[in-house]
């Protein structure tokens, strides 16, 4: 029997933030208490079983696995979760990745009482979107806006000017109390707010020229997983777990 869950009774939302400590990726579970269904945002392959087990323990059905973008630092758990649960894969049309459902800017994506507005926030990649839940005052920003930082712009279709415009026009214009849930944090901080990032984001508080200069001089290494991750994520993940990854699977 499913255990009792922590619930926001007003809006009947079940919410969990899950971590992959290898790639420092956050996966989010949003569940509708009455419908007993949920979505996962940005699941990671190595943790797909863990996430699916949690979904079952909460007495929920996994209906959708969403990605904020085509990730380069890990393989999405979407493909494997489809096999485990029969859920549908979701990503932006602009990502160029295969999926069951493609989303476009300003589109509303709903499950029961959960309503996410798709905000196109390109710049880290062309297909980056943020998912804004107005009722719960939450925004899932992927790599467009990180806590006191942002995703890099030196590979895939990265473009610092585009990212700067996306964040300032689409995210910094949200209500300031909106809680920011990013796809990653490398210091263990789990959330922020739009107000905090407008005030303290070390890159995005600069003017655009300074921002572009910062982003063009990060001198970061070639992403370790990119050659494996991009081909897999282009087809929205793997149905089966390859031998070299199976030893890293978390139950």
Question: Which residues make up the interface to Fe ion (CB under 5 A)?
Answer: 71, 143
Cβ proximity to Fe ion: between 20 and 143 the closer is 143
Cβ proximity to Fe ion: between 27 and 136 the closer is 27
| Phi, psi of 222, rounded to the nearest 5 degrees | -65, 130
Check residue 93 and report its DSSP letter: G
Cβ proximity to Fe ion: between 41 and 114 the closer is 41
Cβ proximity to Fe ion: between 71 and 117 the closer is 71
Cβ proximity to Fe ion: between 31 and 182 the closer is 182
Q: Residue 82 CB, nearest distance to Fe ion (Å)?
A: 21
User: What is the CB-side half-sphere exposure of residue 101 using CA atoms within 13 A?
Assistant: 18
Q: Residue 78 CB, nearest distance to Fe ion (Å)?
A: 15
Cβ proximity to Fe ion: between 133 and 144 the closer is 144
Among 77, 85, 87, 132, smallest CA distance to 110 is for 132
Q: Residue 2 CB, nearest distance to Fe ion (Å)?
A: 33
Q: Residue 48 CB, nearest distance to Fe ion (Å)?
A: 18
Q: Which region holds residue 100: left if phi is over 0, alpha if psi is between -120 and 50, else beta?
A: alpha
Cβ proximity to Fe ion: between 143 and 197 the closer is 143
Residue nearest to Fe ion according to CB distances in the complex: 143
Among 10, 50, 65, smallest CA distance to 33 is for 10
Check residue 19 and report its DSSP letter: E
Q: Residue 128 CB, nearest distance to Fe ion (Å)?
A: 8
Q: Residue 1 CB, nearest distance to Fe ion (Å)?
A: 38
CA distance 118 to 61: 23
CA distance 142 to 150: 9
Q: Residue 124 CB, nearest distance to Fe ion (Å)?
A: 6
CA distance 159 to 167: 12
CA distance 238 to 17: 23
* Contacts (Cβ under 8 Å, ≥6 apart) of 99: 67, 78, 89, 90, 91, 236
């Amino acid at each position: 029997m499913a255990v009792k869950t922590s619930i926001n009774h007003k809006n009947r939302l079940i919410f969990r933030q899950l971590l992959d400590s290898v790639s420092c990726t956050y996966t989010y579970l949003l569940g509708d208490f009455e419908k007993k269904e949920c979505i996962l945002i940005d699941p990671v392959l190595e943790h797909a079983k863990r996430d699916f087990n949690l979904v079952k323990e909460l007495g929920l059905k996994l209906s959708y696995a969403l990605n904020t973008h085509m990730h380069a630092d890990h393989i999405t758990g979407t493909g494997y979760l489809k096999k485990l649960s029969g859920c549908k894969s979701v990503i932006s049309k602009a990502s160029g990745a295969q999926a069951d459902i493609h989303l476009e800017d300003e589109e509303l994506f709903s499950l029961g009482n959960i309503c996410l507005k798709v905000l196109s926030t390109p710049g880290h990649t062309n297909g980056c979107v943020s998912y804004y839940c107005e009722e719960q005052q939450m925004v899932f920003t992927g790599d467009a806006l990180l806590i006191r930082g942002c995703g890099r712009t030196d590979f895939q279709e990265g473009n610092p000017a585009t990212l700067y415009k996306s964040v300032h026009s689409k995210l910094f214009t949200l209500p300031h109390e909106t809680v920011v849930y990013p796809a990653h944090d490398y210091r263990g901080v789990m959330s922020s707010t739009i107000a905090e990032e407008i005030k303290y984001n070390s890159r995005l508080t600069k003017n655009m020229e300074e921002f572009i200069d910062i982003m063009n001089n990060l001198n970061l290494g070639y992403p370790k997983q990119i050659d494996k991750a991009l081909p897999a994520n282009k087809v929205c993940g793997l149905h089966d777990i390859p031998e070299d990854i199976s030893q890293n699977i978390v139950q």
